[in-house]
Amino acid sequence: MKLKSVLFAAAAGATLLATLAAPPAAAQAKEQFFPVLPYRTGAYAPNGVPWANGYVDYLKLINARDGGINGVKITFEECDTGYATDRGVECYERLKGKASGEIFQPLSTGITFALTSKAPSDKNVLITSGYGLSESSDGLVFKWNFPMLGTYWSGADIIMQHITKKEGGSLKGKKIALVYHDSPYGKEPIPLLQQRAKLQGYDLTLLPVAAPGVEQKATWLQIRQLRPDYVLLWGWGVMNSAAIKEAVATGYPRERMYGVWWSAGEPDVKDVGDAAKGYNGLVAFGNQGRVIDDIKKYVHGKGQGTGPIEEVGQTLYMRGMTSAVLAVESVRRAQERYGKGKVMDGEQIRWGAENLALDDKKLAALGLTGIMKPLSTSCTDHEGSRSARIHTWDGKAWQVTSDWYAADEAIIKPMVKTAAAKYASEKNVTPRTPADCQS
Amino acid sequence: MLYRENGQFKTSYRADQQIFPILQDRLAILALAAITLVGVPLFASDYLFRAILIPFAILALAALGLNILVGYCGQISLGTGAFMAVGAYAAYNFVVRVPGMPLLAALLLGGLCATAIGVAFGIPSLRIRGLYLAVATLAAQFFVEWAFLRIKWLTNDSTSGSVTVGALSVFGIPLDTPASRYLLCMALLVLFALLAKNLVRGHIGREWMAIRDMDVAAAVIGIRPVYAKLTAFAISSFIVGVAGALWAFVHLGSWEPAAFGIERSFQLLFMIIIGGLGSIMGSFLGAAFITIVPIVLNRTLPLFGNAFGVHVDTALVSHFESMLFGALIVFFLIVEPHGLARLWSTAKEKLRLWPFPH
Amino acid sequence: MGFFLETLIGGLMTGMLYSLVALGFVLIFKASGVFNFAQGSMVLFAALAMARFADWLPRWLGFDNRLLANLLAFVAAMAVMVVAAWLIERLVLAKLVNQEGITLLMATLGISYFFDGFGQTVFGNDIYKLDIGLPKDPVFLFEQAFQGGILVNKEDLYAALIAALLVAALSLFFQKTGTGRALRAVADDHQAAQSIGIPLGRIWVIVWTVAGCVALVAGIIWGSKLGVQFSLSLVALKALPVVILGGLTSVPGAILGGLVIGVGEKLSEVYIGPHLGGGIEIWFAYVVALAFLLVRPQGLFGEKIIDRV
Amino acid sequence: MAARAAGDVILEVRDISLAFGGVKALSGISFDVREHEIRSIIGPNGAGKSSMLNCINGVYQPQQGAISLRGRTFQHMKPRQVAEMGVARTFQNLALFKGMSVLDNIMTGRNLKMRTNLFQQAIRWGAAEREETSNRIVVEKLIDFLEIQAYRKVPVGRLPYGLQKRVDLGRALAMEPQVLLLDEPMAGMNLEEKQDMSRFILDVNDEFGTTIVLIEHDMAVVMDICDRVVVLDYGRKIGDGTPDEVRANPDVISAYLGTAH
């Protein structure tokens, strides 16, 4: 009897193994596969979910509205990373076999680090819009990384520009405090802020908050004692709302707080409500445009919406949607060179991503006017566009309260060069020369 | 009929003391070795290697180390992730700071550093028992995680605290294909499993188990608790450290302290519970189980969902996963405290009698 | 000076919450010898239940009154926790009677994973607002004595008060009532307790219910502070050093330990932290507890263990 | 029972006092044990018999008094030292290693005799293997002696009580002790098992020439097999001498025998 069950178990196990060993189904003709690495679970789910919904909705839109990219249908599959590096790697390994060359957007600096060393050999493109390694904007070293629409260094730089402007041009002797998520993500902006501190003569205080960032009382007591002129917030998930609440509790003026784009979304303020009024954050795109209506019409209208419809147009949703735009457009661009209506492979997509030229005309055609700034990548610059605005929470919604800023190349470029060089030597990567860019 | 040991008489104690006293087992294990080391590399797909086989091999190694401490010596540790992290970052430092440091040497040195830390955090076990110790080991977990985030020197001044390693090679053979990496991990796994097996069936192993089962009696017959416990901590964290280094170098290639968080510690603990405490075999089974189940769920659940017209999204899958694990842990603790390993041996018992029960 | 006092007070108020959660650990450990690792997940689970019911009930029953909603939600969540406690006793503890502590600890690890998965499947995994009307704005004391005055976070103050009340109530319940005495009897010796006719099963259900209630209150407090979301399950980790510091079996130990750790980690973060680069809160408490255990393996008030052979 | 040639003192306990918190377990106990004799400690429950052994073993540290073993005197002893000086011990309520087989339990008794280091054991080839085998031979002899050949590979947990007691004895004998402390070796045995056990004890005493200190409840057995008796009551020594002397001692009668009958 027991033997039977054991044998049965063995058999079951064998079949399972068989299913695993079976090579993942290769993409059919005329289908471009897009892997999706969201996190709808874990401590960061509240922020991960809207991003993922925006990403997926746009892919759905392209199929529903345009019937794919020049007729090439889009297929996609999700694999939940839970914001954990190793699960991210596992998901990457699982999905990468599905097509010859894909675009991965892990939405996690940690996972990005891990994939950066794998993507090149697998010929997979890594688009990290608004996160990832700041130095990876140097396309000569990071052939397969595309930190489009601004890295953390660009973000930090823009915030500092804005603050400088508010202070009438000089930050000499001012006190700036950075409250950051104690992880590679949170640490990314530090070098730039230090660099600018040297140039502008403000003094910078670093206040790390242990992940996930629920306990910040001590941090904010220090801030209360220090009385900095501005507090920069580099948090993610619960850490953001916790920080704002502590700020309320210690009576630090929200008007003097500036969050990176990951710290200035709806989930961060929605359950703080009025108390968060005056809190500022970066935003890299607008939320009014034809594409929004299209998504409501073609996707949610047909009951295909991934999340609740109210979410469409929210900050993190838009970040996800624009990330999808970048992915789709990279493929479209590649098709322009390698044949419209064909399925693109890794090398081709990479070329597309490296030669993006989204001018106002193209953006208008895509219904992205007022949402995205024009963006054009090259093999020396994988970032494309490094501009953003400040928006402010009025207790109900985010209101844009500044014009567009562009990050200061003069400061960032050299930092990128040195950092990229260090990376190249560590991983013994031989940088491309501008000459062999056209390969 | 096939699986009979009668007729196989042991003529020497030595013969009786070998790892697999039964002929069929020896043959089976040889066959298995042949398959894993020769067959698999020939036929497995890249995906199979990188998503399943390599993680399995490395985690099995870590579980093996943890099992020595928890399963054999009875000293529960919730800080395994920390020791893996030490192994990984130590190995990394040796590689970047010592020019021309060979990979294997770096791995082993990483292991040695883990040993040092392990022993340091093992010292409380001489005063603290059971649950108190379990909680105390969390100190290691959190402290080490913090240290690698904060102390720049340990991460070679990388601004972000996360580090990467370049191309790997062993004895001049580049590890560029998944197969080669898999072989490296497997080779190490087999090697350490063999050494560990020898230890646990040698007298140090008996001393560990004596401490685990009845420490006072053990002391009375002349076993030094200090020595037994600290050796257990040392050897355990050495193996765990090497596993950590492998995880970082071979599997991730680029990592941050979060890769060795408390979740990892729990995961390994689950592996040895499900696999079987105090069993080398168990470490393997447990690791296999915990690496494979989530993937199976991810692949099958949505299909089931569609079959019944329910949309199963990724969130539901991973929630279900943690539910399942939770339930399984409890199930095993209640029904089969010795885990899969025991099920395995009962299966063999049955097989001996088959096809004539009793 | 003023700053020191602020930190101290802040620490005490946080500490009070730790004490509350620690008490959950201690009660369960005394009564069933289980080191309940699932405490944190219970906090999350209870908070989720509360938040969601407060949101759902008005819609189902069609009324609009925050207070009423909260009250009903509290009752509903409580009921859920009772059921959970009962199930845990039936399906897990009853099957693991007289097992070693480590086994039980691992079992609760399993339970906690189950709670996390189940809770989020049923109640969702977004961030939920839980408003029980705690004031958020700070108050300033002794403004004349210290420049800037001493800041006290009202919300924390109320939270600490609630926690203190519950702690007091539980201690009383444990010391005075008949059930409390029965609990202590069980704690001292299972067999003996059974032999004089104390039904172990029921006692365990009761303790786990109490622990569930503690979790619920802690969940509400933290939930209204941080919003109800997954991370709540991690706050309980901070109560672990409290428990080993205070001694697994001691109610006063839990309370005192909580305050000590609360104050200790805040002071350390503020005064030592900057020199070590900050963020030391997370391990400092553990190291303190560990160092202390080396001197007194049974914790502040725990009983000394004598080997009998 | 023929009185054996009593040798010179091998173990002497002088003025031992032990207390847990306020509770006095032992107060001012002194007695000696001669080489090759069977010495027994008797007394009602809670008289402090086991505590006495625990002091000799170094499990408890007495607050005052000294123990001299084969000429060397100690205030505090570590269990390890005691073991190295050839004192073995069985336990009142079995302290076997539940998770291990009979063979391994007894092999563990050989741990002091095994000298190979970790690395030799890890590789196992050569020295470690030889050592393992040589000790295995000794253990197998004991297994034959105790007539438990059939149970070699059985986990001790599965054995009946009587056999477990034998394994306990076997583990102690594996240490090849000069002095063997037996803590109620016959507690909870039926008559037959008791007789077996007595036989084993006597054989050990004869064949291996082991000195035996025996704690026992069962007066009958004690009086039969042992040479001299110490009587404890509430941590005090109330009698010491040959079985007959002790039988005659009025304190003993009132304190112990009185209650026994």
- pLDDT confidence of C198, banded at 50, 70, 90? confident
- Nearest-CA distance B273 → chain C (Å): 8
C183 within 8 A of C30, measured Cβ to Cβ: yes
Question: pLDDT tens digits for D201-257?
Answer: 999 998 888 999 999 877 777 888 888 999 888 888 888 888 888 888 888 877 765
Q: Does D20 reach chain C within 8 Å, measured CB to CB?
A: yes
Judged by 3 or more CB pairs under 8 A, whether A touches D is no
Which residue segment(s) compose the domain that D116 sits in?
99-176
> What would the two tokens of residue D52 be?
């006495």
pTM for the model stands at 0.89
- Looking at the structure, tell me whether residues D82 and D181 fall in a common domain: yes
Per-residue pLDDT, averaged over A28-38, amounts to: 85
Question: pLDDT tens digits for B96-153?
Answer: 888 888 999 999 999 999 999 999 988 888 887 777 787 778 888 989 988 888 888 8
Mean of all residue pLDDT scores within chain C: 84
pLDDT value of position A63: 94
> What would the two tokens of residue A282 be?
């970066």
Q: Report the residue of chain B nearest A46, measured CA to CA.
A: B315
Going by C-alpha positions, the residue among A341, A352, A337 that lies closest to residue A125 is A352
CATH topology for C2-295 is ABC transporter involved in vitamin B12 uptake, BtuC (1.10.3470)
- Torsion angle in degrees (nearest 10) through CA of B158, B164, B169, B170: 80
Along the 261 residues of chain D, how does pLDDT read in single tens digits? 444 455 788 999 999 999 887 788 898 899 999 998 999 998 887 788 888 999 998 888 888 899 998 888 888 888 998 999 999 999 988 789 988 999 999 999 999 988 888 888 888 888 888 999 999 999 999 999 998 988 988 889 888 888 899 999 999 999 999 999 999 888 888 888 888 888 889 999 988 889 999 998 777 778 888 889 998 888 888 888 888 888 888 888 777 655 544
- For chain D, the 3-state helix, strand and coil shares in percent, each to the nearest 5, are 45, 25, 35
pLDDT value of position B241: 97
Q: Is C229–A43 a contact, with Cβ atoms under 8 angstroms apart?
A: yes
Chain C neighbours among B 115-174 (CB < 8 Å)? 124, 127-132, 134-136, 138-139, 142-143, 145-146, 149-151
Q: Does D49 reach chain B within 8 Å, measured CB to CB?
A: no
Q: Does A270 reach chain C within 8 Å, measured CB to CB?
A: yes
| Range list of β-strands (E), A88-242 | 103-104, 125-127, 145-146, 175-181, 203-209, 230-234
Per-residue pLDDT, averaged over B9-31, amounts to: 77
Nearest to D83 among B17, B216, B221 (CB): B221
ipTM of the complex: 0.86
Number of Cβ pairs < 8 A linking chain B and chain C:
137
On chain B, the residues whose CB falls within 8 A of the CB of C110 are 325-330, 333
- pLDDT confidence of B286, banded at 50, 70, 90? very high
Q: Report the residue of chain D nearest B16, measured CA to CA.
A: D133
- Dihedrals phi, psi of D155, to nearest 5 degrees: -60, 130
DSSP bridge partners of A375: A358
The CATH code of domain A31-151+287-386+411-430 reads 3.40.50.2300
C-alpha–C-alpha distance, residues D122 and D110, integer Å: 19
Q: Does B59 reach chain C within 8 Å, measured CB to CB?
A: no
- Nearest-CA distance A412 → chain C (Å): 25
On chain B, the residues whose CB falls within 8 A of the CB of D91 are 217
- Nearest-CA distance A415 → chain B (Å): 12
DSSP bridge partners of A381: A138
- pLDDT confidence of C306, banded at 50, 70, 90? low
Per-residue pLDDT, averaged over A20-39, amounts to: 71
C-alpha–C-alpha distance, residues A412 and A171, integer Å: 19
- pLDDT confidence of A408, banded at 50, 70, 90? very high
- Nearest-CA distance A269 → chain C (Å): 10
Q: Is B220–D171 a contact, with Cβ atoms under 8 angstroms apart?
A: no
- Nearest-CA distance B194 → chain C (Å): 28
Looking at residue D77, what DSSP letter applies? -
- Looking at the structure, tell me whether residues D4 and D80 fall in a common domain: yes
Q: Report the residue of chain A nearest B295, measured CA to CA.
A: A20
Mean of all residue pLDDT scores within chain A: 88
Helix (H, G, I), strand (E, B) or coil at A373: coil
Kindly state the helix (H) or strand (E) to which residue A360 belongs, with its residue range. Answer: helix A360-365
- pLDDT confidence of A23, banded at 50, 70, 90? very low
User: Sign of torsion, CA B150 B154 B155 B159?
Assistant: positive
User: Sign of torsion, CA A300 A306 A310 A312?
Assistant: negative
pLDDT value of position A24: 47
Question: pLDDT tens digits for B201-237?
Answer: 998 999 999 999 988 899 999 999 999 999 999 999 9
Going by C-alpha positions, the residue among D120, D138, D117 that lies closest to residue D129 is D120
- Looking at the structure, tell me whether residues D168 and D182 fall in a common domain: no
> What would the two tokens of residue A7 be?
């044998």
Which subunits sit against C, judged by 3+ Cβ pairs under 8 A?
A, B, D
On chain A, the residues whose CB falls within 8 A of the CB of C274 are 222
Residue C116, burial from CB neighbour count under 10 angstroms (0-12, 13-18, 19+): buried
- Nearest-CA distance C103 → chain D (Å): 15
> What would the two tokens of residue B201 be?
């069936």
Cα–Cα distances (Å) from A36 to A77, A81, A102, B302, C250, in that order, read 6, 10, 10, 16, 50
Answer whether A31-151+287-386+411-430 and A153-283 agree in fold.
yes
- Looking at the structure, tell me whether residues D198 and D241 fall in a common domain: yes
At residue A210, does pLDDT exceed 90? Answer: no
Transcribe D131-157 into DSSP letters: HHHHHHHHHHHHHHHTT-GGGTTSBGG
On chain B, the residues whose CB falls within 8 A of the CB of A16 are 292, 296
Q: Is D92–C306 a contact, with Cβ atoms under 8 angstroms apart?
A: no
Q: Please, where are the H alpha helices in chain C? A: 2-32, 39-61, 66-87, 101-123, 154-176, 178-188, 190-195, 200-226, 232-235, 240-246, 251-267, 273-276, 281-295
DSSP bridge partners of A230: A176
Q: Which amino acid is at C55?
A: D
Return the half-sphere exposure (C-beta side, CA atoms, 13 A cut-off) of residue A149: 28
Show the CA angle centred on residue D191, arms to residues D189 and D195, nearest 5°. 95
Q: Is residue D93 part of a domain?
A: no
Chain A neighbours among B 187-246 (CB < 8 Å)? none
At residue C27, does pLDDT exceed 90? Answer: no
D101 within 8 A of D110, measured Cβ to Cβ: no
Last residue of one domain, picked from the residues D156, D176, D196: D176
Q: Report the residue of chain C nearest B218, measured CA to CA.
A: C309
Q: Is D175–B222 a contact, with Cβ atoms under 8 angstroms apart?
A: yes
Question: pLDDT tens digits for B296-336?
Answer: 887 788 788 777 777 777 788 888 888 988 998 898 888 88
Q: Does A217 reach chain C within 8 Å, measured CB to CB?
A: yes
Nearest to A217 among C231, C266, C274 (CB): C266
Nearest to C306 among D20, D50, D95 (CB): D20
Q: Is B222–D111 a contact, with Cβ atoms under 8 angstroms apart?
A: yes
Per-residue pLDDT, averaged over B15-32, amounts to: 79
Q: Report the residue of chain A nearest B50, measured CA to CA.
A: A93
On chain C, the residues whose CB falls within 8 A of the CB of A218 are 7, 10, 265-266, 269-270, 273, 281
- Looking at the structure, tell me whether residues D39 and D138 fall in a common domain: no
Last residue of one domain, picked from the residues D131, D160, D176: D176
Kindly state the helix (H) or strand (E) to which residue D32 belongs, with its residue range. Answer: strand D23-34
On chain B, the residues whose CB falls within 8 A of the CB of D104 are 206, 209
Q: Report the residue of chain A nearest B165, measured CA to CA.
A: A427
Transcribe C178-220 into DSSP letters: HHHHHHHHHHH-HHHHHHTT--HHHHHHHHHHHHHHHHHHHHH
Q: Which amino acid is at D118?
A: L
Transcribe B251-311 into DSSP letters: IISEE-GGGGSHHHHHHHHHHHHHH-TT-HHHHHHHHHHHHHHHHHHHHHHHHHHHHTT--
| Residue whose entry in the numeric block shows the structure tokens 């009786």 | B16
Q: Is C309–D91 a contact, with Cβ atoms under 8 angstroms apart?
A: yes
Q: Is B132–C110 a contact, with Cβ atoms under 8 angstroms apart?
A: no
For chain C, report the end-to-end CA distance as a whole number of angstroms.
55
CATH class label, A153-283: alpha beta
Domain ranges for chain A: 31-151+287-386+411-430, 153-283
At residue A27, does pLDDT exceed 70? Answer: no
* Between residues A162 and A3, the one the model is more confident about: A162
Domain count, chain D: 2
Q: Does B320 reach chain C within 8 Å, measured CB to CB?
A: yes
Which subunits sit against D, judged by 3+ Cβ pairs under 8 A?
B, C
C-alpha–C-alpha distance, residues A38 and A77, integer Å: 10
Domain ranges for chain B: 60-353
- How many residues can be counted in chain D? 261
